[in-house]
Amino acid sequence: MQTLHRFPERPDPLLTIVVPCFQEEETIPEFHQRITRVVKRLPVSCEILYVDDGSNDRTADILRHYQDGSSVRCLSLSRNFGKEAALSAGIDHARGSALIFIDVDLQDPPELIAAMVDYWQRGYDVVNMQRNLRIGDSWFKRMSARAYYWVMQRLVEKVDMPADVSDFRLIGPAPLAALRALDERSRILKGMIGWVGFRTIELPYNRTVRHAGSTKWNAAGLFNLAIESIVSFSRKPLRIFSLISFGLFVSPSGRIV
């Protein structure tokens, strides 16, 4: 028999939906309309926490228009720190005992949140959404994502990082508390969530086309994410560098010089 979670302190737990935003003035109104419809139907009380990652368009103004101080809040970062930092800020400021990450561009359908909450209530601590089809992604983004997961699965040790698992996920109270307890200067959440463990399930879904605007990811951003991930979770590059350095100090005769 499957054991249901016994939620602490309140029978109707507060769930925080964290939405990172950067230059998304075109997508926010449609997203907000859809996410509020979803939230009203959920069996748990929710708040929506928008995190503006230093946008210089009308993103912050639009978000402030929706903010009501209770069910909808807006956090504005002083400059553009990047998506990982925006998600990390969401973790630090969420009031919920559990949270969901979702992008604002509507490639990840908000309507799937109901299924994520259902699996959480069945006893899963982490519910990862795994992309089955990447309909709206360019050839470059599909290939770079494939390369990222290929490298991570071979270099990263003791971290479960399934391919095509997006940032669209639910994190329950136990793993959320574990993440908050980790003293990391730079949080790479894809790896950290797998590293802390707990009962996890992947739900396949089809990623749709972006509602409006264009992706903010570029080659430099993806490369930096890969480097930070490898440095944070793998000792293999350090071992390779150490062997190379040692070799530079060894003479052809085998003596250390």
pLDDT band, residue 166 (cuts 50/70/90): confident
- Whether 185 shows a pLDDT value over 90: the answer reads no
Q: How many CA atoms lie within 13 A of 114 on its CB side?
A: 11
Q: CB-based burial of residue 69 (10 Å sphere; 0-12 exposed, 13-18 middle, 19+ buried)?
A: exposed
Domains in the chain and their CATH numbers? 14-141+165-213 (3.90.550.10)
The pLDDT value given to residue 196: 82
pLDDT of residue 142: 67
Over residues 159-186, mean pLDDT: 82
The average pLDDT across 143-166 equals 66
Is the model's pLDDT at 134 over the cut of 90? no
Comparing C-alpha atoms, which of 205, 226, 215, 225 is closest to residue 141? 215
Region 35-55 average pLDDT? 96
The 10 Å Cβ neighbour count of residue 164 is 18
Q: Give residue 3's pLDDT.
A: 47
Comparing C-alpha atoms, which of 66, 1, 56 is closest to residue 28?
A: 66
The vertex-142 CA angle with 227 and 200, nearest 5°, equals 70
% of the chain surpassing 90 pLDDT:
49
Cβ distance 136 to 207 under 8 Å? Answer: yes
AA identity, residue 59: T
Can you give the pLDDT at residue 12?
43
Give the model's confidence band at 103: pLDDT under 50 very low, under 70 low, under 90 confident, else very high. very high
| pLDDT at site 6 | 46
Question: Residue 192: which pLDDT band, with cuts at 50, 70 and 90?
Answer: confident
Q: Does 205 score more than 90 pLDDT?
A: yes
Is residue 238 predicted with pLDDT exceeding 90? no
Is residue 69 over pLDDT 90?
no
- What pLDDT does 53 receive? 96
pLDDT over threshold 80, residue 176: yes
DSSP structure string for 148-203: HHHHHHHH--S----TTEEEEEEE-HHHHHHHHHS--SS--HHHHHHHH--SEEEE
At residue 106, φ and ψ (nearest 5 deg) are: 70, 15
> Is residue 247 pLDDT above 50, yes or no?
no
Confidence class for position 208, pLDDT limits 50, 70, 90: confident
- What does pLDDT average to over the chain? 79
pLDDT at position 193, please?
A: 83
DSSP class of 55: -
Residue type, 217: W
- The pLDDT value recorded for residue 147 is 65
Query: Which of 36-50, 69-83, 147-161 shows the highest mean pLDDT?
Result: 36-50
Question: Tell me, what's the pLDDT at 96?
Answer: 94
Residue type, 209: V
